[in-house]
Amino acid sequence: MSSLQHRYHSLAASIHSLQEISFPVLNHRHAYGTLNTPHCTDPRTTHSFNSMGFQDWFAQKSRKWAALRQKPAMRLFIWSTWIPVAICFLDHAYFLGHISGNSMTPALNPDSNLGKRDIVLLQKFLIKQPGYLKVGDVVLLRNPMDPDKFLCKRILGVGGDEIVTRHPYPQKTCFVPFNHVWVEGDNIHSFDSNNFGPVSLGLMHGKCPKVLWPFNRFGAIPDGGREARKEKLGYVDDVVEG
């Protein structure tokens, strides 16, 4: 019986010793902040987020950052960080373009005789990928005979098509090589592939999916243009000029 009592007293002493153990991180209330947990009154068994002072630290930094953002120099710096993003977006994604001339009338610039010009959205990504551009797409391309200038035309043939040409093209038909397109203006009086032949995809500068201005014609560019007059690796001879 004395042996059992001895073991009982030893176990009680061990439990009492464990209760006396303190953890330095949790007891340094003056260094790291006051413990604040409503469900426990013993700070040695509590570890709230604010016990390390993080909430106070974040609040202080937030106030400093809010004050710093009000300074003109900092606001200018923040805005300037968006300049590379905007440049990248305009170079590789979308940009706006003015359409001049009447070669795409009536789909574009129907009021060109009044000096009005359409503004279109131009897509730049994927346009040089083989097979992406389709017959009927309206594109902006570099003039093959003057690369410093741009032309807006409609695609009437893609790689592998046999096109029946119009005046002044020297041959009656033209085979469009792969990675090339045949472009023409919707207006019969147009400077296009009938003057300079098929155009390499490398000269494509943008695809025109939508009219942005004027607002009364906002939306997708209308279908239209002259008859494509093409066959896949074939020949067509029943052509009516118009």
Task: Say how far apart CA 232 and CA 162 lie, in whole Å.
Answer: 6
**Which of 189, 150, 184 is CA-nearest to residue 165?**
184
Task: Say how far apart CA 150 and CA 38 lie, in whole Å.
Answer: 72
What secondary structure letter does DSSP report for 77? H
- Residues belonging to the active site: 103, 153
E strands of the chain, at which residues?
94-99, 118-123, 138-143, 146-158, 161-164, 173-175, 180-184, 199-200, 204-213, 219-220, 230-232
- Angle (CA) 141 144 150, round 5°: 35
Neighbours of 200 (CB within 10 A): 14
